[in-house]
């Protein structure tokens, strides 16, 4: 049957098989005895098979599942029960040997690792139906996984709700061996196959292929062959240490080899050597279907495994090989092997270990005593373990011990043994140092696995060091003294050197005192005293010495302190008292106390005193000095033995003072006062004080350059950063100077961004932190300084007084003068007012104020008008007779350092420019570079306001070309659009014997008449003059010529009109007909009247007219407009007859760039004048 058909049938049968099966045995097989419950359950048999048919087909040959279809293998000939991490179905047979039905049965299955006390690899439960008396049934555990290879134990235990009559037969135990590796030769990928090694289908067990050395059943290997088949490298370092069962490998093999030819199995050890494990030689069987395997006795068992050494053969680079060798005597078909299996006991992985640590209680202690912290350890992992306790951060001077609550200590070699799920309590006993601080101390408890040292658990715990009270008596170093016949008070210092506040009882008892001596607490001293930790208090006593007692005689008493809250805390000391003598002494200062003593920093001086003993006995004195400490000052009494002086004698001593090394000027030494204490009487004597010692001033300053620019900036500011330090002992004012610098150079100081008025700084002293100042010197070098020159800039600093060290008073830096191209543009600051039709000239000056040649100085201008107009033309001329440019164009020329050039901008304002037009002229220059490397540009603007004009309209009415009978009429109309009052003169020229009368005034021939047109803002001024023409005689036809102009003759006007009078008819002569006597008389009178009138009229004409009456004349059909041109040009009057305008001659090169012919006609002459032509 095909393989997949068999597999399908097996799957169907597995699906149809019931989970449990109950079978009733024959009655004669029932064992009847008296039981408590009548139920006696026992697991009697186990059947193991692979859950998946594919796994079964691959692994069944060397597995315990039996029988195997098509393979005649003894039932007991197997190596493993399963393969690592392969699901298995385990069927268990359970029997009820009792006489009572069992009820529902719970069946528990455990797989335990043999190398550990308790390591559950699998833990499963299923239920079964009730078993009747003497009945049996089966239950199946499906898909049981074990992910550890090795030799394990399977335990199956049935139970029910009652009590089993015979618990000893309940559990079934059997081996449960798990292969780590099971290879069926389906592929040699990853293996190293030498010559003649490969896979073969000639014969096989599991998967249709086997591993073969040779050339198949129809071929043979060769003579003198040495070839290997090596497994991949496997990491098998997780093997347990010293396993109790066989660990090794096995396989099935078949085939044949000639004598002296063999296949050997080797293992690669951890030293890099190949160790021989087994040898296959000769003929295995009659046919290739005769498969054999290995059989060994090892560790008390018969096993098909070839043993391998657990220490040397299982490591991180484990490897096995099959080596075939032949000689030259002959060949054969070779060997086949299949179902290559490796079994070794894997050690538990770290994830199997777990521990829970929880605190139960803590019992603190005082320093030096034992306390404890009780912890509960619970094994929450899957494996039994032994744990060694420790405290990781135990202070150096603490002690620790571990024990069980029973008092038994924890053995550090075996630790605390815990099964999975088990809990045990331990005590961490702690003894703090006697000097330990009071309070909670954080500690870290750690439990480390003995089986797996890499596994440990830490738990934080708090241990309280309780406060203690410790009384301490400071025994006086100097015996308290009292003169004979006196009672004297004295003090003894006491202290609580513990950490807890307490009240201490004070007790006094005599120890050794003669009669009349007494010592006790003073009446105002309480018999108990409260002391906080480290507090020192004085206890007052009173001693009495009887009269006549010998000086220096002593007695002593007991002084005891007892803590009220812990009476075990007590201390007792013996206090010695002494009878003293009566001293009398005098101390004198050997210098005048008002005398000033000067000291330098660090200097030492001795002030001398004299001591005189005025007592009747020899006395000795201890010397000390009373002073208020000052920082840095050292005050010492003379180091000497006690001063012993006979009665009436004197001795000298001194007090030494040493000034601090950093003493500052005018610092005063502390006031000193010698104190002499009589050793024999205890009496003290104080000498005169002295406080007139002063530190003298020392000057020492230094200067250092912190940073500086690389070059000097002519015309700009060059910054040098300095650090000035006062090394002297007092504040001082320092001056900073440039040394040997050119007189044209100037400088200033900048401190914290503020420029100082004078180059001086105030420096403090080092202890105040004001002895150092960082200051910037701003050096101003004139633009006239030539570029590229090297200068050594020397900067010096001087204190107020004589400097002690001059070598650090000057610094020097070498700098080069920078090359500066810097333009300057100067223009008129004024705004201009211009007249329509005029020309305005704006002047400016461009300079190169730098110290280097500017090869391309660009100048130009821009012009704008408001409102916009095209009747404004301007051009710039650089220098007299120099090049010109229009608005927006640039003139470029070189300029040497310090040179300048005049600029002229001629703005020509056309006649049609509206009044109040604003013309902005922006003159600019570009050249040089600034600090950012950009071209420097300066601009200057001027405003031209066109707010003036001269414009007068003069109109003379036309003649009607009719013959005049007697009187002709003409109108002269004057209109002013000027921005000023216009005074006009006019006159008429007419034929002889004609006469004219204008506005009622007779005007003589060529007589000048004045007229005024006053200016009014935004208003036209006008005047109409009516004139009559009369022929008195002379020609009948003639021209009347009007000539008019402004007073300054800027505007002129002339016009001519032709008149014709009607001639009379022919008749007799006048005199022949009319002249007679009366007529002559009348004519004479008329002449006289005419002369009088003319005289009066002339007189009136020379008198200013205050007001004029304007007579509106007739409309004028044609107008002639007269406008002004610039005053320096020729005034041109436009009349009806067109006059030719003279055109200036063109330059040799033709019109200038940008000029039109119309501009040349009007402004060309000015251009030529500018060029000097």
**DSSP codes joined into one string, 740-790:** S--TT-EEEEEETTEE-SSSEEEE--GGGT-SEEEEEEEEE--TTSPTT-E
Measure the CA–CA gap between 607 and 398, rounded to whole angstroms: 54
Does residue 461 sit in the same domain as residue 506?
no
In Å, the largest CA–CA distance within the chain is 215
> Is the model's pLDDT at 1096 over the cut of 90?
no
Task: Answer whether residue 721 is part of any domain.
Answer: yes
Most confident of the ranges 3-12, 484-493, 924-933, 1093-1102 = 484-493
Integer CA distances (angstroms), 371 to 40, 392, 469, in order: 54, 18, 18
Measure the CA–CA gap between 398 and 410, rounded to whole angstroms: 19
Does residue 290 sit in the same domain as residue 187?
yes
Cβ atoms of 414 and 436 within 8 Å: the answer is no
- Comparing 368-382, 500-514, 1120-1134, the range with the smallest average pLDDT is 1120-1134
Integer CA distances (angstroms), 622 to 492, 589, 642, in order: 21, 18, 5
Task: Answer whether residue 683 is part of any domain.
Answer: yes
Does residue 322 sit in the same domain as residue 217?
yes
Measure the CA–CA gap between 123 and 105, rounded to whole angstroms: 17
What number is the average pLDDT over the span 470-480? 91
Does residue 811 sit in the same domain as residue 833?
no
**1059: CATH:** 2.60.40.10
pLDDT band at 1172 (very low <50, low <70, confident <90, very high): low
Most confident of the ranges 133-137, 877-881, 1033-1037, 1148-1152 = 133-137
Report pLDDT digits (tens) over 285-331: 888 888 999 889 998 888 999 999 999 999 999 999 999 999 999 99
Does residue 974 sit in the same domain as residue 943?
no
- For 70-139, the three-class secondary structure string (H helix, E strand, C coil) is CECCCCCCCCECEECCCCEEEEEEEEECCCCCCCCEEEEEEEEECCCCCEEEEEEEEEECCCCCCEEEEE
Does residue 335 sit in the same domain as residue 198?
yes
Task: Answer whether residue 1164 is part of any domain.
Answer: no
Tell whether the torsion through CA atoms of 705, 710, 714 and 715 is positive or negative. Answer: negative
Task: Answer whether residue 338 is part of any domain.
Answer: yes
Phi and psi at 297, nearest 5°, equal -105, 120
Query: In a 3-state reduction of DSSP, which class is residue 1165?
Result: helix
What's the token pair of residue 619? Answer: 């006395």
Return the closest-CA partner of residue 968 out of 992, 948, 989, 998: 998
Cβ atoms of 928 and 850 within 8 Å: the answer is yes
Query: In a 3-state reduction of DSSP, which class is residue 603?
Result: coil
Contacts of 794 (CB under 8 A, 6+ apart): 738, 739, 740, 741, 810, 811, 812
Higher pLDDT pick, 401 / 1161 = 401
What's the token pair of residue 213? Answer: 């050395």
Listing DSSP states for 1105-1138 in one string gives PS----------S---EEE---TTSPP----SS-
What number is the average pLDDT over the span 829-845? 90
pLDDT at 4: 39
Integer CA distances (angstroms), 203 to 210, 219, 896, in order: 7, 14, 110
Task: Answer whether residue 360 is part of any domain.
Answer: yes
Q: Domain residues for 166?
A: 3-179
Cα torsion 158, 162, 166, 170 to 10°: value is 10
List beta partners, residue 882: none
pLDDT band at 1095 (very low <50, low <70, confident <90, very high): low
Cβ atoms of 1025 and 1000 within 8 Å: the answer is no
Q: Which residues of 85-109 are buried (b: 16+ CB within 10 A; e: fewer)?
A: ebebbbbbbbbbbbbbebeebebbb
Phi and psi at 720, nearest 5°, equal -125, 120
Listing DSSP states for 692-746 in one string gives -EEEPP-B-EEEEEEEE-SEE-TTSEEEEEEEEEE-SSS-EEEEEEEES--TT-E
pLDDT band at 1142 (very low <50, low <70, confident <90, very high): low
- For 209-252, the three-class secondary structure string (H helix, E strand, C coil) is CEEEECCCCCCCCCCCCEEEEECCCECCCCECCCCCCCCEEEEE
Does residue 121 sit in the same domain as residue 10?
yes
What number is the average pLDDT over the span 980-988? 91
Integer CA distances (angstroms), 1113 to 367, 670, 719, 971, 999, in order: 137, 119, 84, 6, 11
Listing DSSP states for 859-875 in one string gives EEEEEEEES--SSEEEE
Query: In a 3-state reduction of DSSP, which class is residue 1157?
Result: helix
Task: Answer whether residue 1134 is part of any domain.
Answer: no
pLDDT at 1165: 77
Measure the CA–CA gap between 318 and 285, rounded to whole angstroms: 32
Measure the CA–CA gap between 565 and 509, rounded to whole angstroms: 23
The total domain count for the chain is: 8
Integer CA distances (angstroms), 525 to 491, 505, 562, 1101, in order: 11, 12, 16, 139
Does residue 8 sit in the same domain as residue 140?
yes
> Is the model's pLDDT at 700 over the cut of 70?
yes
Q: Last residue of some domain: 817, 842, 877? A: 817
CA atoms within 13 A on the CB side of 1141: 14
Measure the CA–CA gap between 41 and 155, rounded to whole angstroms: 15
Return the closest-CA partner of residue 466 out of 428, 499, 433, 496: 499
Return the closest-CA partner of residue 412 out of 387, 435, 395: 387
Return the closest-CA partner of residue 124 out of 110, 136, 134: 110
pLDDT at 896: 82
Higher pLDDT pick, 69 / 488 = 488
Contacts of 317 (CB under 8 A, 6+ apart): 233, 235, 268, 270
Does residue 175 sit in the same domain as residue 28?
yes
Phi and psi at 488, nearest 5°, equal -130, 140
pLDDT at 1076: 52
pLDDT band at 935 (very low <50, low <70, confident <90, very high): confident
Contacts of 26 (CB under 8 A, 6+ apart): none
Q: Last residue of some domain: 179, 204, 223? A: 179
Tell whether the torsion through CA atoms of 105, 111, 112 and 114 is positive or negative. Answer: positive
Integer CA distances (angstroms), 1000 to 510, 816, 872, 1024, 1111, in order: 160, 92, 47, 13, 11
Q: Last residue of some domain: 155, 179, 203? A: 179
> Is the model's pLDDT at 1078 over the cut of 80?
no
pLDDT band at 1079 (very low <50, low <70, confident <90, very high): low
Does residue 838 sit in the same domain as residue 931?
yes
pTM value is 0.44
Task: Answer whether residue 632 is part of any domain.
Answer: yes
> Is the model's pLDDT at 711 over the cut of 70?
yes
Does residue 1025 sit in the same domain as residue 1045?
yes
What number is the average pLDDT over the span 431-449? 91
Strand order in the sheet with 226-230: 192-193, 226-230, 320-325, 262-268, 274-281
Task: Answer whether residue 477 is part of any domain.
Answer: yes
pLDDT at 1117: 34
Q: How confident is the prediction for the chain on average, in pLDDT?
A: 85
pLDDT at 1020: 85
Does residue 175 sit in the same domain as residue 186?
no
Percent pLDDT > 90 in the chain is 50
What's the token pair of residue 69? Answer: 């279809």
- For 422-433, the three-class secondary structure string (H helix, E strand, C coil) is CEEEEEEEEECC
List beta partners, residue 108: 125, 157
The single residue listed with the structure tokens 């502390």 is: 670
pLDDT at 476: 94
Report pLDDT digits (tens) over 24-70: 344 333 344 444 789 999 999 999 999 999 999 999 988 888 777 76
Most confident of the ranges 270-279, 799-808, 891-900 = 270-279
Query: In a 3-state reduction of DSSP, which class is residue 1163?
Result: helix
Return the closest-CA partner of residue 731 out of 703, 691, 670, 773: 773
- For 23-70, the three-class secondary structure string (H helix, E strand, C coil) is EECCHHHCCCCCCCCCCCEEEEEEEEEECCHHHHHHHHHHECCCCECC
């Amino acid at each position: 049957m095909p393989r997949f058909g068999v597999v399908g049938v097996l799957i169907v049968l597995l699906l149809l098989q019931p989970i449990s099966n109950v079978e009733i045995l024959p009655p004669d097989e029932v064992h009847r005895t008296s039981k408590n419950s009548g139920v006696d359950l026992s697991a009697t048999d186990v059947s193991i098979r692979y859950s998946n048919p594919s796994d079964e087909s691959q692994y069944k040959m060397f597995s315990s599942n039996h029988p195997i279809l098509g393979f005649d293998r003894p039932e007991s000939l197997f190596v493993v029960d399963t393969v690592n991490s392969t699901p298995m179905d385990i069927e268990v047979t359970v029997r009820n040997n009792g006489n009572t039905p069992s009820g529902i049965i719970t069946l528990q299955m455990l797989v335990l690792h043999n190398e550990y006390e308790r390591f559950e690899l699998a833990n499963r439960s299923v239920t079964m139906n009730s078993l009747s008396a003497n009945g049996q049934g089966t239950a199946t555990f499906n898909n049981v996984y074990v992910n550890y290879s090795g030799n394990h134990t399977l335990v199956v235990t049935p139970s029910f709700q009652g009590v089993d009559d015979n618990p000893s037969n309940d559990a079934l135990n059997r081996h449960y061996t798990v292969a780590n590796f099971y290879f069926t030769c389906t592929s040699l990928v990853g293996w190293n196959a030498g010559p003649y090694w490969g896979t073969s289908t000639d014969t096989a067990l599991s998967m249709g292929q086997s591993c073969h050395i040779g050339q198949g059943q129809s071929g043979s290997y060769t003579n003198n062959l040495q070839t290997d088949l090596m497994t991949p490298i496997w990491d098998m370092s997780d093997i347990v240490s010293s396993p109790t069962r066989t660990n090794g490998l096995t396989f099935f093999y078949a085939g044949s080899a000639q004598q002296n030819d063999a296949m050997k199995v080797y293992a690669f050890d951890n030293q890099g050597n190949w160790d021989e494990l087994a040898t296959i030689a000769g003929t295995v069987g009659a046919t290739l279907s005769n498969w054999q395997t290995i059989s060994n006795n090892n560790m008390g068992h018969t096993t098909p495994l070839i043993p391998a050494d657990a220490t040397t053969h299982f490591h991180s680079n484990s490897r096995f090989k099959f080596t075939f060798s032949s000689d030259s005597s002959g060949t054969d078909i070779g060997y086949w092997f299949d179902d290559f299996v490796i079994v070794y006991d894997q050690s538990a992985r770290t994830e199997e270990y777990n521990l829970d640590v929880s605190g139960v209680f803590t019992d603190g202690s005082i320093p030096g005593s034992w306390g404890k912290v009780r912890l509960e350890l619970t094994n929450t992992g899957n494996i039994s373990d032994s744990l060694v306790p420790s405290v990781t951060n135990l202070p150096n001077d603490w002690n620790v011990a571990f024990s069980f609550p029973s008092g038994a200590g924890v053995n550090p070699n075996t630790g605390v043994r815990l099964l999975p799920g088990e809990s045990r309590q331990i005590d961490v006993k702690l003894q703090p140092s006697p000097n330990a601080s009071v309070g909670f101390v954080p500690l870290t408890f750690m439990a480390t696995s003995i089986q797996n040292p890499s596994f440990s658990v830490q738990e934080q715990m708090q241990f309280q060091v309780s406060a203690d009270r410790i009384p301490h008596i400071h025994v006086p170093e100097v015996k308290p003294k009292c003169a004979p016949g006196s009672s004297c008070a004295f003090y003894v210092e006491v202290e609580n050197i513990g950490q807890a506040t307490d009240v201490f009882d004070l007790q006094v008892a005599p120890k050794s005192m003669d009669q009349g001596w007494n010592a006790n607490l003073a009446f105002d001293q309480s018999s108990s005293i409260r002391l906080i930790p480290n507090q020192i208090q004085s206890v007052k006593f009173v001693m009495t010495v009887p009269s006549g007692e010998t000086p220096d005689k002593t007695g002593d008493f007991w002084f005891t302190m007892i803590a009220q809250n812990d009476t075990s805390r007590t201390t007792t000391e013996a206090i010695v008292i002494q009878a003293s003598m009566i001293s009398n002494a005098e101390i004198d200062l050997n210098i005048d106390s008002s005398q000033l003593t000067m000291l330098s920093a660090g200097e030492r001086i001795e002030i001398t005193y004299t001591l005189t003993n005025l007592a009747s006995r020899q006395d000795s004195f201890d010397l000390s000095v009373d002073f208020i400490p000052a920082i840095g000052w050292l005050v010492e009494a003379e180091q000497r033995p006690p001063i012993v002086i006979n009665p009436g004698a004197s001795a000298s001593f001194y007090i030494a003072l040493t000034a601090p090394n950093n003493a500052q000027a005018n610092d005063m030494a502390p006031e000193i006062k010698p104190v002499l204490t009589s050793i024999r009487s205890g009496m003290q004597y104080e000498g005169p004080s002295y406080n007139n010692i002063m530190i003298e001033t020392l000057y020492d300053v230094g200067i250092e350059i912190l940073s500086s620019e690389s070059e000097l900036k002519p015309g700009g500011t060059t910054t040098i950063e300095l650090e000035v330090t006062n090394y002297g002992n007092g504040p001082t004012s320092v001056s900073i100077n440039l040394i040997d610098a050119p007189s044209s150079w100037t400088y200033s100081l900048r401190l914290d961004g503020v420029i100082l008025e004078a180059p001086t700084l105030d420096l403090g002293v080092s202890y105040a932190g004001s002895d150092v100042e960082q200051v910037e010197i701003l050096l101003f070098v004139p633009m006239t300084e030539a570029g590229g020159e090297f200068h050594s800039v020397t900067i010096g600093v001087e204190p107020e007084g004589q400097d002690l060290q001059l070598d650090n008073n000057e610094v020097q830096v070498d700098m080069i003068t920078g090359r500066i191209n810097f333009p300057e543009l100067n223009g008129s600051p004024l705004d201009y007012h211009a007249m329509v039709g005029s020309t305005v000239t704006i002047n400016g000056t461009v300079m190169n104020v730098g110290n280097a040649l500017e090869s391309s100085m660009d100048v130009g201008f821009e012009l704008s008008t408001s409102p916009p107009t095209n009747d404004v033309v301007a051009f710039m001329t650089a220098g007299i007779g120099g090049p010109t440019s229009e608005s927006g164009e640039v003139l470029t020329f070189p300029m040497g350092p310090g040179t300048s050039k005049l600029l002229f901008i001629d703005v020509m304002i056309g006649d049609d420019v509206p009044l109040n037009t604003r013309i902005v002229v922006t003159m600019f220059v570009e050249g040089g570079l600034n600090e950012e490397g950009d071209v420097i540009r300066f601009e200057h603007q001027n405003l031209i306001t066109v707010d003036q004009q001269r414009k007068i309209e003069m109109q003379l009415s036309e003649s009607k070309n009719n013959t005049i009978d007697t009187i002709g009429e003409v109108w002269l109309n004057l209109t002013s659009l000027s921005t000023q009052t216009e005074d006009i003169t006019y006159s008429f020229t007419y034929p002889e014997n004609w006469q004219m009368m204008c506005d009622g005034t007779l005007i003589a021939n060529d007589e000048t008449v004045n007229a005024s047109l006053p200016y009014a803002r935004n208003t036209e001024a006008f005047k109409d003059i009516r004139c009559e023409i009369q022929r008195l005689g002379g020609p009948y036809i003639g021209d009347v010529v009007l000539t008019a102009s402004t007073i300054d003759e800027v505007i002129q006007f002339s016009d001519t009109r032709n008149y014709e009078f009607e001639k009379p008819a022919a008749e007799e002569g006048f005199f022949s007909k009319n002249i007679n006597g009366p007529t002559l008389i009348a004519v004479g009178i008329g002449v006289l009247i005419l002369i009088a009138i003319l005289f009066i009229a002339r007189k009136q004409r020379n008198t200013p007219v205050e007001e004029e009456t304007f007579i509106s004349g007739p409309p004028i059909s044609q107008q002639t407009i007269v406008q002004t041109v610039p005053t320096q040009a020729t005034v041109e009057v436009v009349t009806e007859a067109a006059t030719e305008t003279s055109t200036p001659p063109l330059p040799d090169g033709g019109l200038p760039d940008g000029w039109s012919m119309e501009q040349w006609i009007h402004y060309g002459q000015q251009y030529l004048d500018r060029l000097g032509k």
